[in-house]
Structure 1
């Protein structure tokens, strides 16, 4: 799994990087078929008095891409909200995969077994 963490109008400290990696471990515990994760952290300034922190992630899976974004006043709160949303999305994708893969039919009904 490749992990890329980048900042937009924001300096990434080692503490922020470790926080994101620790939080992503929770998602990887539930589903380990992840190819690539790209996390973008940034600051949006729609108005000078209202600074919002933004966190977004793109998770590439086999045959699918999950995109989640979150906004908050605090960067750590935005990351926490992002990870909660991502965890729900990954679990939903995992249950879809498991529901799609049906058990194989071993014998057709009414067919006699040959010994």
Structure 2
């Protein structure tokens, strides 16, 4: 299923946190980086959570879910500031997508047993 239009769906939700328009645009601007790796990303969902009972260094948690053809990717990051947590989350998801694309390329170039049997001459 190849989509012709390049609409990228980014869903931002807040848990115990009021989402401001600037925070939403910050998340959407940062998430543009993820779409350069895989053109087959269906949806990116970012959940921002503020837990006032946690320690100050882990007060804000950003969770990211990437729905992609194949296994979905999930990541979570905690920080003392919401914007910092979002930036760290996008970096983490970016590294995960990069690793996945390298693994796909390496798998494509891997020599298979049937290729080795066909290349080897029969000795008898």
Aligned counterparts of 1:86 and 1:28: Cα–Cα separation in 2: 11
Equivalent positions of 1:11-22 (< 5 A) are 11-22=18-29
* Aligned position for 1:45: 52
Give the alignment partner of residue 91 of structure 1, picking from 98, 102, 106. 98
Unaligned 5+ segments in structure 2 are 1-7
Q: What secondary structure sits across from 2:17 in the alignment?
A: coil
- Counting matched residue pairs gives 108
Normalising to structure 1: TM-score of the pair?
Answer: 0.82
Greater strand share, structure number: 1
Q: Aligned-pair distance for 1:62?
A: 0.7
Deviations 1:2-47 (A, max 9, x none): 3211000011111011100110111111222101111100101335
Cα-Cα RMSD:
2.2
Aligned counterparts of 1:98 and 1:68: Cα–Cα separation in 2: 23
Normalising to structure 2: TM-score of the pair?
Answer: 0.76
Unaligned 5+ segments in structure 1 are none
Deviations 1:56-105 (A, max 9, x none): 110011111110111111000101110111110010011111222238x7
